[in-house]
C-alpha cells in the first residue's frame, strides 16, 4: 500500500493574518501531538501511536527539521503574496486616479445609458472599460461610415436555402430550424397593426409561443374583435383560445425606455414616433397650422419585456414599429450587449442618406453592431424612397392635419446568428460577402 506523506501541515492560519500571527512554527511537543492526531485520522492502516513514536524517536529530529523547512518556505510564499497584493492595489489606485471611478459619477438624469450586459436572471452588470471603448468605436464607425466596407449593409453575408416570408414582407431562415429551435421556441412580433400573420404562422406551423406588441388604437380594436370581417374575428377568437402561453398580445409599444411614449397619428391607421414639422414652405401664410393628433402610450424596452415574460432567449424577433426601431435597438445593444436572440426580421424607416455610399448612417450603425455580435445578414431588400402618406385616424380616415412628413426610405433586412455555420463548415451554399439579396418576388 502506498504510504501517505505523514509530514503535518503548518498550523492553520488565515491567508492574510493579523500582525504577529504569521505562520508561527510549532514546538517539538506540538509536533509530536499533531503527528499522533494525524495518525489517528488514518484509522487502522496507520496507527496514531506509530506516528507519535516516530516523532519522539530517533528519526523525530529529521522529521521536525523537514517540517521547519516547509514552514520557512510557506512563510516566504505568504510574504511574497502579500507584497504582490500590495503592489497590485497600488497600481489599481493609480489607475483610478488617472481614469476616475465610474460609481458615483453617473448622472441618472442625463440621456446616456451606461453600457451593461444582462445575465440569465435579468440582472445587469456594467461592462469593462475596454468593452465600453470598443463598443463606442463600433457606434462611431457605423454612424460616420468609417468602415472597412461602407456598403456592407446591402450585401448578403449568409445564403439561406430555406427562406420563407410567412405570408408577410419579412423573412425567416428555416435552414435546420426544427433541429435548431429549442423546445420552448419563443417569437416576439413587435408591430402588428391588425395583421398578425407573422406571429400566427410561427405559432401554428412551428409550435412557437408568440409575444405580440403594438400600441396602436387599431390594434386594440383588432384584439377586442371590433375590426370588420368575419375572418379577422375568427382569428382573434382562435388566438385567445390558444391562451397567453401560446399567443399573448399586449397593447403596448416597443421603445427605448419604459413608460409613456409620445407617438403621433401616422398612415394606415397607425401611430409613429415621427413628428411632422411645422413647414411654412408647404402651406400659405394665411393657413393655420394643424398638427397631427398626439398620443401618450405605454412602451417597454426589450429587457423589460423579457423579464416580464420570463424569457432568457428569443428564437425570432420581428420588428416593424414605424421609426421606433432605432431607440428600441439602441437600448437593446446598450443594456444587453449582444442580445440573446437567434434571428431578427427588421423593417427600416429612414429619412437620412449618405450619398457617397447610398446608405443611411443610422442603419449602418446598427448593422455594424449586428456584425460585431456575430449576426449575418441573409436577406436584404434595397431601400426604396416613397411618400410617407398622410395622417389617418384609427378608422383609416384622413385627418385634418396639414403637416406632412418628407419622403421616407424603407428597407427590409433579416439577420441570423443561430443558423451561422461554425468555423470550418462553410460550403458553396454559403456565399461570400459580395452576394446580393434576392428581390421579394424571388422569395416564396
Q: What is the pLDDT of residues 326-358, one digit of tens each?
A: 999 999 999 999 999 999 999 999 998 888 888
- SS3 label, residue 338: coil
| pLDDT single digits (tens) 384-431 | 999 888 888 777 788 888 888 989 999 999 999 998 876 544 333 333
Residues 6+ positions from 49 with CB-CB distance below 8 Å? 36, 39
Q: Take residue 25 and report the three cell numbers written for it.
A: 512554527
Residue 397 lies in a domain: yes
Q: In what helix (H) or strand (E) does residue 123 lie, and over which residues does it extend?
A: none
Q: How confident is the model at residue 211 (pLDDT cuts 50, 70, 90)?
A: very high
Q: Which residue has the cell 435546420?
A: 176
The three-state secondary structure class of 429 is: coil
Percent of the chain scored above 90 by pLDDT? 47
pLDDT at 434: 35
Say which residue the cell 399573448 belongs to.
248
Residue 49 pLDDT greater than 60, yes or no? no
Residues 6+ apart with CB under 8 A from 171: 160, 163, 164, 165, 345, 378, 379, 412, 414, 443
Whether pLDDT at 362 is above 70: yes
| Residue 37 and residue 185 share a domain | no
Q: How are strands ordered across the β-sheet holding 376-386?
A: 247-250, 209-213, 186-190, 314-319, 341-350, 408-416, 376-386
Is there a domain that residue 5 lies in?
no
Domain span including residue 82: 28-99
The answer on 135 and 95 residing in a single domain is no
Question: Are residues 266 and 413 located together in one domain of the fold?
Answer: yes
Domain assignment of residue 10, yes or no:
no
Are 75 and 145 members of one domain?
no
Residues 39 and 141 in one domain: no
Does some domain include residue 3?
A: no
Please tell me whether residues 248 and 288 are part of one structural domain: yes
47 & 164 share domain: no
Confidence (pLDDT) at 59: 55
Whether 179 contacts 157, CB under 8 Å: no
- Residue 7 covered by a domain: no
pTM: predicted TM-score of the whole model, two decimal places? 0.74
Tell me: do 285 and 391 sit in the same domain. yes
Which position has the higher pLDDT, 422 or 323?
323
pLDDT digits (tens, 9 = 90+) for 123-181: 999 898 889 999 999 999 999 989 888 888 888 999 999 999 999 999 999 998 888 87
Q: How many domains does the chain have?
A: 2
Domain boundary among 99, 117, 137: 99
Task: Identify whether residues 51 and 182 lie together within a single domain.
Answer: no
Residue 323 lies in a domain: yes
Regarding whether 206 and 86 lie in a shared domain, the answer is no
Boundary residue ending a domain (77, 99, 121)? 99
| Mean pLDDT calculated for residue range 55-76 | 62
**Residue 17 forms part of a structural domain:** no
Q: What residues contact 21, with CB distance under 8 A and at least 6 apart?
A: 13, 14
Average pLDDT estimate for 2-11: 44
Question: What does DSSP assign to residue 331?
Answer: H
221 and 364 in a single domain? The answer is yes
Residue 167 Cα to chain centre, angstroms? 28
For the chain, the average pLDDT equals: 81
Residue 154 covered by a domain: yes
Residue 62 confidence (pLDDT)? 60
Residues 181 and 319 in one domain: yes
Amino acid at each position: 500500500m502506498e504510504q501517505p506523506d505523514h509530514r503535518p501541515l503548518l498550523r492553520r492560519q488565515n491567508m492574510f493574518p493579523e500582525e504577529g500571527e504569521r505562520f508561527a512554527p510549532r514546538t517539538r511537543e506540538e509536533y509530536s501531538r499533531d503527528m499522533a492526531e494525524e495518525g489517528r485520522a488514518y484509522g487502522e492502516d496507520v496507527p496514531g501511536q506509530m506516528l507519535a513514536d516516530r516523532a519522539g524517536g530517533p528519526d523525530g529530529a529529521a522529521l521536525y527539521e523537514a517540517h521547519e523547512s516547509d514552514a520557512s518556505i510557506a512563510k516566504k510564499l505568504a510574504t511574497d503574496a502579500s507584497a504582490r497584493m500590495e503592489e497590485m492595489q497600488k497600481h489599481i489606485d493609480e489607475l483610478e486616479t488617472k481614469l476616475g471611478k465610474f460609481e458615483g459619477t453617473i448622472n441618472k438624469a442625463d440621456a446616456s445609458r451606461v453600457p451593461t450586459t444582462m445575465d440569465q436572471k435579468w440582472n445587469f452588470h456594467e461592462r469593462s472599460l475596454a468593452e465600453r471603448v470598443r463598443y463606442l468605436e463600433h457606434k462611431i464607425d457605423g454612424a460616420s461610415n468609417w468602415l472597412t466596407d461602407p456598403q456592407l449593409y446591402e450585401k448578403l453575408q449568409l445564403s439561406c436555402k430555406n427562406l420563407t416570408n410567412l405570408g408577410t414582407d419579412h423573412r425567416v431562415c428555416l435552414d435546420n430550424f426544427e433541429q435548431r429551435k429549442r423546445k420552448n421556441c419563443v417569437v416576439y412580433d413587435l408591430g402588428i397593426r391588425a395583421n398578425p400573420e407573422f406571429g400566427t404562422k410561427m405559432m401554428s406551423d412551428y409550435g412557437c409561443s408568440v409575444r405580440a406588441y403594438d400600441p396602436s388604437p387599431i390594434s386594440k380594436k383588432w384584439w377586442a374583435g371590433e375590426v370588420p370581417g368575419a375572418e379577422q374575428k375568427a382569428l382573434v377568437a382562435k388566438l385567445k383560445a390558444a391562451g397567453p402561453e401560446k399567443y399573448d398580445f399586449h397593447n403596448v409599444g416597443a421603445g427605448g425606455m419604459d413608460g409613456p411614449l409620445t407617438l403621433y397619428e401616422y398612415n394606415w391607421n397607425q401611430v409613429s414616433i415621427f413628428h411632422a414639422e411645422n413647414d411654412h414652405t408647404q402651406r400659405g401664410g394665411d393657413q393655420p397650422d394643424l398638427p397631427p393628433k398626439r398620443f401618450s402610450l405605454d412602451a417597454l424596452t426589450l429587457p423589460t419585456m423579457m423579464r416580464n415574460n420570463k424569457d432568457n432567449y428569443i428564437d425570432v424577433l420581428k420588428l416593424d414599429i414605424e421609426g421606433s426601431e432605432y431607440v428600441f435597438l439602441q437600448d437593446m445593444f446598450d443594456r444587453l450587449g449582444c442580445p440573446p436572440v437567434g434571428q431578427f426580421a427588421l423593417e427600416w424607416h429612414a429619412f437620412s442618406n449618405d450619398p457617397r455610399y447610398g446608405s443611411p448612417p443610422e442603419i449602418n450603425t446598427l448593422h455594424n453592431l449586428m456584425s460585431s455580435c456575430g449576426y449575418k445578414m441573409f436577406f436584404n431588400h434595397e431601400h426604396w424612397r416613397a411618400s410617407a402618406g398622410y395622417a389617418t385616424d384609427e378608422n383609416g380616415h384622413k385627418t385634418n392635419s396639414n403637416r406632412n412628413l418628407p419622403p421616407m426610405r424603407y428597407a427590409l433586412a433579416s439577420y441570423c446568428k443561430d443558423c451561422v455555420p461554425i468555423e470550418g463548415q462553410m460550403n458553396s451554399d454559403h456565399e461570400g460577402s459580395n452576394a446580393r439579396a434576392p428581390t421579394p418576388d424571388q422569395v416564396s
